[in-house]
Amino acid sequence: MIEGNLESPKLEKKPSRKRAGKTSNKLIFLKISLIIILLIFGFIFAKFAQRKLAEQNRILGAKAENYQENIENKIGHFLKKTGSNAEEIVTSGVKNILSTVSETVVDTASKSAGVVSEFVFENTIGNLLKQIEKLPPEQKEQIKKEICR
């Protein structure tokens, strides 16, 4: 009796483009969601800071006004920076998606062109050559002479 490993060889699966595309889409969605959450917290913080400053202004008077302007400038700077970061992330995500889509379109088009040219050859020239092979030798020679002219 022959002893050996009766297990069939396991084939490694390559990650599909669909899974990679879904993963990158999920990452983009998560990044955009995180940015939106940060913006919401920034606005909430700004409102909270304004209320606190208004309260302090009543207590401290003119000194609080300068403090409030300083905080508003810092908050404005923070929100501008967050907005520009969000724009950069979204732009890079869109560029990645567009490059993936264009690569897929180019791959599909080149594969289609190969299939079409093979189909045309098999159904036209291939059939013609089969018919020529069925002819008697004299007629084959005549066709060769005419083609080579």
Distance, in Å, from the CA atom of 54 to the CA atom of 95, rounded to the nearest integer, reads 44
Is pTM beyond 0.75? Reply is: no
Distance, in Å, from the CA atom of 30 to the CA atom of 24, rounded to the nearest integer, reads 10
Summary count for the chain: helices (H), strands (E): 4, 0
pLDDT digits (tens, 9 = 90+) for 6-50: 555 555 555 555 555 667 788 888 889 889 999 998 889 888 888
Any domain includes 42: yes
Q: Is the pLDDT of residue 95 over 70?
A: yes
Any domain includes 109: yes
Any domain includes 84: yes
Any domain includes 77: yes
Q: Which of 36, 33, 14, 29 is nearest to 97 (CA)?
A: 29
Distance, in Å, from the CA atom of 93 to the CA atom of 87, rounded to the nearest integer, reads 10
More confident of the two residues 5 and 80: 80
Any domain includes 80: yes
Any domain includes 65: yes
Any domain includes 120: no
The whole-number pLDDT of residue 17 equals: 55
Overall domain count for the chain: 1
Q: Which residue range is the domain that position 93 belongs to?
A: 21-115
Q: Which of 75, 80, 81, 93 is nearest to 32 (CA)?
A: 93
Are 34 and 89 in contact by the 8 Å Cβ rule? The answer is no
Any domain includes 74: yes
